[in-house]
Amino acid sequence: MSATITTPGYSFDNAAPEADAQMHALESYMDPITAHRLAPLLVPGANCWEIGAGAGSVARLMSRLVGPAGRVLATDIEPAHLVPEGNLRVARHDVRDEPPAGAPFDLIHARLVLLHLPERRRVLRRLAEALAPGGWLVVEEFDCTAPLRVLTAPTDDAAKLFQRVMDSMLGALQSKGADMAWAQTVHTEMALAGLADIDTVTHSESWVGGSPGASLHATNSRQLEPKLQADGVTPGQLRVFRELARDPRFASLSYQFVSTRGRRPRRG
């Protein structure tokens, strides 16, 4: 992901002042996991598509691994943070539209994109169809079905406030059409789309106050502040919530990050 511009189906604006911090936090947590999943699939000369490319960290990884004979297309509905270079091409594109020029692709990757889209199942099928025979689709999402577990907090009230604000943020995302359980469904949807060799891994870790992961909570709360206040979260509660995100006495588990990949059969 990345963060994406506000439009029906998307809740974050990567033109907002908070976007740089948001994308940095996401990359710090997710890029090592994503790199581990993608690297075995990225061969020299491959043709790749990075969807919702954000600041471009994953697209640049692809570009290095496929080499000068390969091609990488990085798309976003607001690509202002993306810079074309060498074999890396940038385009403005909404994944709900027809696939961009360049198909079929040997690898398509989408991170924290489809969960926001009411059309997610149709989009996934279309992405599967845009693969070359033997090509891979990798979809990575947060599973937000369970409340974040607070591991340590300065006070019980602080822990309860954290849960209250997080619940409100999830409600704001759902009001825009996000499916907090979509990560659990991707494996099944890939099978229904005809993909093979599907596998899913999950990752969760502790986020201590002051870490990039914890900072993501504070940044998201700023992006969603009008919706949170409409839900009854007061400015004072938001201030305390953001202080917790910087407090080394606070720690919570991250949401599970779920990475699913499947391959288009070479025949059939």
> Is-contact 71 80, C-beta < 8 A?
no
Give the side-chain half-sphere CA count within 13 A for 146. Answer: 11
- The pTM score is 0.92
Residue 12 falls inside a structural domain: no
Report CA-CA distances (Å) from 25 to 30, 53, 88, 131. Answer: 9, 15, 23, 30
Report CA-CA distances (Å) from 96 to 32, 103, 223. Answer: 27, 15, 23
Residue 268 pLDDT greater than 90, yes or no: no
Number of structural domains found in the chain: 1
pLDDT, tens only, 13-27: 666 667 777 888 889
> CA–CA separation, 188 vs 191, rounded Å?
5
User: Which residues, including other chains, have CB under 8 Å from residue 122's CB and lie 6 or more apart?
Assistant: none
User: Nearest CA to 142 among 11, 245, 254?
Assistant: 254
Confidence grade of residue 146 (pLDDT, cut at 50, 70, 90) = confident
Residue 4 falls inside a structural domain: no
Residue 100 falls inside a structural domain: yes
pLDDT, tens only, 164-187: 999 999 999 999 899 999 999 999
Q: Which CATH number do you get for residue 160?
A: 3.40.50.150
Residue 230 falls inside a structural domain: yes
Residue 101 falls inside a structural domain: yes
Across the range 3-17, mean pLDDT stands at 52
Over the chain, what is the mean pLDDT? Answer: 92
Across the range 221-243, mean pLDDT stands at 96
Residue 1 falls inside a structural domain: no
Residue 221 falls inside a structural domain: yes
User: Which residues, including other chains, have CB under 8 Å from residue 40's CB and lie 6 or more apart?
Assistant: none
pLDDT, tens only, 75-87: 999 999 999 999 9
> Is-contact 106 73, C-beta < 8 A?
no
Helix (H, G, I), strand (E, B) or coil at 84: coil
Domain boundaries, position 244: 19-263
pLDDT over 70 for what percent of the chain? 93
In this predicted structure, what is the pLDDT of residue 71? 98
